[in-house]
Amino acid sequence: MKTIPLKRLVPGLIIGPASWLGPYIVTSSLFLPALIQHLDAENKITLLALFSSVGMIAAAISNMVAGFLSDRTRSRFGKRTPWLVSGAFVFMLAMIFASMSTTIPLLMASWMLGQIALNFIVAPMIAWLDLAPENGKGTASSAYGGLGMALGNNGFTIVGAIFLSQFRLGFILFGIVTFLGALIAAVIVREPSNLDEPLDKPSSTTKAKFSIKDLSTIFPKWVEGRDYYLALIGKLFQGVGNFAITGYLLYIMTDFLHKDTSSTQQTIQLINTIMLVFGIAMGFIAGPISDRLKLLKLPVGLSTILLGIGVLSIFFLQNDIGLMIYAFMAGLGMGIWNSLDNLLNLKVIPDKNRVGFFLGFYNLGNTVTQAIAPVIAAFMISTIGFSSIFMMSFAFSIIGGILILSIKSVSR
């Protein structure tokens, strides 16, 4: 198997995910809610859940398609690069269209296009991890998740909060950042040509006899893929627990804690600064420590439990101290999680010939959960009240950790 030296792969795995995740987090958690509120303030909670539901469907389908297509691509630029660069370009256009939307249907159409394009970046890019040398996969995973995703999750939000009152301009600027970042990452990584790689083409007879039974082989049975499914379900629970809070962070500040716009902006920046520091710190040390001590399952499982504990501080204290405790606990937990969870999934993939597909599908935990969480949260808010989302987030995070710790093929 071809490999790429870490001196090229690591910078690409930092810039690449930061460039797609950062703009997505900022647009989905700040600019989209702000624009929806501007267009239809009365129905903002329901509309945000609707956008999330539609986005979830688009993300799920496009992620699987992107992973499948990139696995089967042969080009002078490799399997993944053509798709992720093209996806970044379309995402940029979608964000520009969103910035010009004057009605909810136009905004919905732009957002749908952006969701589809986003997953044509995500699924191929995460498969770059498989190009790392065997003794450096932990470092590569840490670069992607610990550094790249920390910058995306928190670093961009610090900057994004500045544009909270200019959200239309924010859509445009962050869309451009995604395209330029993906392009720079691709140039740095320089994925090798795979034109010489054989591609098994099904015969006409095979095509004619294709059946539902054949379709069922896309995913292995539980007994064969148990650990992969546990990792996937654990990631989904962790993701919902995380994004139920971050997806509604703007409304938590304004509607639950009753902060004004200036205070909201400052608090969001402070929270994300704390989480960014922890994310970068874990990005530097979690992967190398995992490689050296052969620890993987335990830190990943415990990290999501830390997140759940941090969420409770907001609920019980309902002040800035509670928010800071949440930032510290969630920052440490997410820093460890982002550094190592992709490596854990790489270890439990049931079919090594379809790395792009399985890694891409697993990475739906970063996109689909951002869609599912607001839907569940909106239901909880409307039926029980705003405080219920904190209990929900805690429960989902704990369940996610338990599922990860139940994996058998990775000992510790």
Domain membership of residue 212 (yes or no) is no
pLDDT in tens, 229-239: 999 999 999 98
pLDDT in tens, 62-92: 887 887 888 888 999 998 999 999 999 999 9
Domain membership of residue 1 (yes or no) is no
Amino acid residing at 199:
L
Transcribe 95-154 into DSSP letters. HHHHHT--SHHHHHHHHHHHHHHHHHHHHHHHGGGGGS-GGGHHHHHIIIIIIIHHIIII
Domain membership of residue 203 (yes or no) is no
Under DSSP, the state recorded for 350 is S
Start-to-end C-alpha separation, the chain: 27
Domain membership of residue 52 (yes or no) is yes
Number of structural domains (the chain) is: 1
Amino acid residing at 211:
S
pLDDT in tens, 22-31: 999 899 888 9
Alpha-carbon distances, residue 408 vs 1, 8, 35, 343, 412 (angstroms): 27, 33, 46, 15, 9
pLDDT in tens, 140-199: 878 887 788 878 877 888 888 888 889 999 999 999 999 999 999 999 999 999 888 776
Domain membership of residue 360 (yes or no) is yes
Q: Is 385 left (phi over 0), alpha (psi -120 to 50) or beta?
A: left
Range with the largest mean pLDDT of 167-176, 318-327, 342-351, 373-382: 167-176
Domain membership of residue 215 (yes or no) is no
Would you say the pTM of this structure is higher than 0.85? no
Q: If 0-12 CB within 10 Å is exposed, 13-18 middle and 19+ buried, where does residue 64 land?
A: middle
256 near 130, Cβ under 8 Å? no
For residue 254, what is the domain's CATH number? Answer: 1.20.1250.20
Domain membership of residue 258 (yes or no) is yes
Domain membership of residue 357 (yes or no) is yes
> From CA 97, how far away is CA 117, in angstroms rounded?
13
Residues written for the chain: 412
Query: Can you give the residue range of the structural domain that contains 384?
Result: 6-194+220-405
Above 70 in pLDDT, residue 208?
A: no
What confidence tier does 203 reach under pLDDT thresholds 50, 70, 90?
A: very low
> From CA 316, how far away is CA 356, in angstroms rounded?
42
Our CA dihedral for 117, 122, 123, 128, rounded to 10 degrees, sits at 140
